[in-house]
Amino acid sequence: MNQKLREKIIIFDTTMRDGELTPGINMNLQQKMALAKLLEEIGVDVLEVGYPGFYQKDLAEIEAISQEIKESTICGLAGSKIKEINTLGLSLKSASRSRINIYTNVNTKTQTKLTSQDILTLIKDSITAAKQYTNEIEWSAFDAASCELDFLCKAVEIAIAQGANIVCIPDSFGSLSTQEFYDLISAISHRVPNIDRATIAVHCHNDLGLAVNNSIAALESGARQIECSVNGLGARKGNADLAKIAEAISQQNNYQIDLDTTLISQASELVNQLVDIV
């Protein structure tokens, strides 16, 4: 197939945010800056730098990296609390390209204080708050794998209608088989009426060793953004590994990534040095 006819897959790197949830990992500004510059040189589309509404140190890091990085989109994470969103939005004001990533827990079974309607209202209000800071808003359905499917589809629909450009369906605890995750993304692709107005993203954890397989399978059911990290760093067993994702997509006939893959090994070595992994 002609390369120009292949669909571009957005690569979203979360080494500097989710990667810091790896036990014993704590990067400083200088280390994150060096990594951010290398990831930008590689051509990574989106760099998730931190969670400033929860971790105070991330605020200065996002502000500084926003001033230096010009090609990659700078992203930060926020919960659905307006205060967290405002903190993140202000930290991104110097970014040439910015994105706010909002997560909302959609598993009503684990929430005793919020009704389904409360959650939908929370989604609306949080996206409205984010829109004053950037035109690029990602909404993430935390614990989507355990959410009742009808409600999950309704939440995705509401998020898109409210202004989310990207909707992320994570396997938050790495609990789904590849077929189960494929089926989940496929159901959302077919059941959400306004899904064509947003990019579907996936964020897979590696608890079952399936983060890469699940991410790639999701492309066949409609996903067009993969969230990953250098060396697969992340909470518990980690995230999908950037190098493995790049290799797997390169073997696909229908998709492409705009990365200089020859530099990914340098990123791997840099991260090994930063976190003192041997």
User: What residues have CB less than 8 Å from 248, skipping those under 6 apart?
Assistant: 212, 216
| pLDDT tens per residue, range 60-119 | 999 999 999 999 999 999 999 999 999 999 999 999 999 999 999 999 888 878 999 999
| pLDDT tens per residue, range 197-224 | 999 999 999 999 999 999 999 999 999 9
pTM for the whole structure: 0.96
Tell me, what's the pLDDT at 26?
86
11-275: CATH, from 3.20.20.70, 3.40.718.10, 1.25.40.10, 3.10.450.50: 3.20.20.70
Tell me, what's the pLDDT at 273?
86
Give strand pairing partners of 74. 47, 98
Is residue 3 pLDDT above 80, yes or no? no
| pLDDT tens per residue, range 153-207 | 999 999 999 999 999 999 999 999 999 999 999 999 999 999 999 999 999 999 9
- Separation in Å, CA 236 to CA 1, 33, 41: 39, 25, 29
Is residue 274 pLDDT above 80, yes or no? no
Tell me, what's the pLDDT at 76?
98
Q: Which of 56, 52, 50 is nearest to 31 (CA)?
A: 50
Tell me, what's the pLDDT at 1?
39
- CA distance linking residue 55 with residue 81, whole number of Å: 14
Tell me, what's the pLDDT at 237?
95
- CA distance linking residue 176 with residue 49, whole number of Å: 27
